[in-house]
């Protein structure tokens, strides 16, 4: 018992020494965010609460501490306390978009849809470039089964905040279950290139592979791909989609011969041939696309096979294992190259399907 008391006192002293040694600048607030969220992810809720209580006793008005306290209440499903904390927080001059995001989510979970919408739109008015707020609006619309409005929200999130990865994630899943698989394929691959969420990356890697498999059709001439189905009254097809499918299928004929299944090495070969033909025929000029430009950069670096196995790995992990075993050097060289050559996304380098609306 004595040892346990000494241990508890020592931990408390450590926390107090930490508190007394810092000024809560942006760097230290970031450390607080990471510490609390690490506790919450590991379900160490008592540690998170004790840590925040210790900080709050000295820095009672600090925004980062209040937000993390609201996160704690949210994790414990103590929504009323989370709401009270966040309502106080958004009155502060230092309010951030994520504060409105969490407040809206709390109201949604409290089954107050009107308030959830009220605060998400208030947040968007203050932070019109926030991908997080458009993402939250999309989730609200999905939960209300307003699918088209959800798509519009996620698309706006991508257009206004192209670095925010979760909007790509949601659209990749939505379009995978639509008549426009092509958009799922593009959004999936962009997501895989920018996310740091390992679990979601595995999910989307598998989805990407399955989207190509789902697009495979068969007729008397053999296998071909169908990525879209437009059914407007004028039977007009978006030219980008039409040309994508045309070039992909002509490229597939170079790879697929008298076979009934699409294997990962076939798919990688087709993707590579498509890329070569797309640029050779000048479609990259007519239909600018940051993903295709990035793939071409990888291809020019002789890293396309390693890259493709990497992003499609969850679709056929056994094939990846065999390839990696026989090509460790190639994969190592690609990994080193990719560190300084990631997909560039910013206000001037982004992709949204809206950019093809004019065609």
pLDDT tens readout for residues 7-54: 444 454 444 434 444 445 666 777 887 888 888 888 888 888 888 888
Q: Are 136 and 105 in contact (CB under 8 A)?
A: yes
> Are 85 and 73 within 8 A, CB to CB?
yes
Environment class of 205 (CB within 10 Å of its CB; exposed 0-12, middle 13-18, buried 19+) = buried
Return contacts of 264-272, CB within 8 angstroms, 24+ apart: 264/209, 264/309, 264/312, 264/315, 264/316, 264/319, 264/320, 265/319, 265/323, 267/209, 267/212, 267/308, 267/312, 268/304, 268/305, 268/308, 268/309, 268/312, 271/295, 271/308, 272/299, 272/304, 272/305, 272/308
Give the model's pLDDT for residue 143.
87
202 falls within a domain: yes
pLDDT category of residue 271 using cuts at 50, 70 and 90: very high
Find all residues with CB under 8 Å of 38, minimum gap 6, and list them.
Answer: none
Structural domain contains residue 47: no
Q: What is the pLDDT of residue 53?
A: 82
* Mean pLDDT value across the chain: 87
Whether 108 maps to a domain, the answer reads: no
User: Domain limits at 304?
Assistant: 180-359
What's the domain count of the chain?
1
**Predicted local confidence at residue 230, as pLDDT:** 60
| Inside any domain, residue 307 | yes
Please check whether residue 77 is in contact with residue 105, taking contact to mean a CB–CB distance below 8 angstroms: no
pLDDT of residue 51: 81
Phi and psi for 346 in degrees, rounded to 5? Answer: -160, -170
* pTM, entire model: 0.87
Tokens linked to 231: 């059914």
- Does the pLDDT of residue 289 top 50, yes or no? yes
Q: Which CA distances in Å does 309 have to 14, 36, 306? A: 47, 36, 5
**Range of lowest pLDDT (68-82, 138-152, 204-218, 256-270):** 256-270
Residue 225 lies in a domain: yes
Please check whether residue 164 lies inside any domain of the structure.
no
Angle at 124 between CA 39 and CA 101, to 5 degrees: 20
More confident residue, 105 or 25: 105
d(CA 188, CA 84): 38
CB atoms within 10 A of CB 339: 7
230's CB contacts (< 8 A; 6+ apart) are: 179, 236, 237, 238, 241
Do the domain assignments include residue 262?
Answer: yes
Q: Look at residue 208 and tell me if it is in a domain.
A: yes
């Amino acid at each position: 018992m004595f040892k346990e008391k000494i241990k508890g006192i020592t931990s408390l002293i450590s926390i107090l020494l930490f508190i007394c040694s810092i000024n809560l600048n942006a760097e230290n607030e970031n450390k607080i965010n990471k510490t609390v969220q690490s506790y919450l992810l590991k379900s160490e809720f008592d540690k998170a609460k004790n840590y925040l209580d210790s900080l709050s006793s000295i820095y009672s008005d600090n925004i980062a501490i209040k937000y993390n306290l609201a996160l704690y209440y949210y994790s414990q499903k103590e929504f009323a306390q989370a709401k009270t904390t966040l309502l106080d927080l958004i009155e502060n001059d230092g309010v951030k978009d994520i504060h409105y995001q969490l407040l809206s989510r709390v109201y949604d979970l409290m089954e107050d849809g009107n308030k959830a919408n009220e605060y998400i739109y208030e947040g968007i008015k203050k932070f019109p470039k926030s991908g997080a707020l458009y993402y939250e609006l999309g989730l609200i619309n999905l939960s209300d089964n307003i699918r088209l409005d959800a798509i519009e929200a996620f698309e706006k999130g991508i257009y206004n905040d192209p670095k925010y990865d979760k909007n790509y994630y949601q659209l990749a899943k939505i379009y995978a279950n639509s008549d426009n698989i092509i958009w799922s394929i593009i959004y999936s691959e962009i997501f895989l290139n920018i996310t740091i969420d390992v679990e979601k990356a595995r999910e989307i890697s598998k989805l990407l592979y399955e989207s190509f498999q789902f697009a495979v059709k068969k007729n008397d001439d053999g296998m071909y791909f169908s990525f879209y189905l437009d059914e407007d009254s004028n039977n007009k097809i978006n030219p980008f989609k039409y040309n994508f499918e045309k070039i992909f299928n002509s490229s597939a004929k170079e790879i697929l011969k008298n076979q009934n299944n699409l294997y990962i090495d076939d798919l990688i070969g087709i993707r590579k041939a498509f890329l070569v033909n797309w640029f050779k025929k000048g479609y990259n000029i007519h239909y600018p696309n940051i993903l295709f430009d990035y793939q071409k950069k990888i291809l020019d670096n002789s890293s396309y096979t390693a890259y493709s196995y990497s992003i499609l790995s969850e679709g056929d992990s056994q094939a990846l294992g065999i390839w990696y075993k026989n090509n460790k050097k190639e994969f190592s060289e690609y990994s080193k190259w990719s560190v300084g050559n990631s997909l560039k996304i910013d206000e001037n380098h982004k992709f949204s399907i809206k950019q093809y609306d004019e065609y």
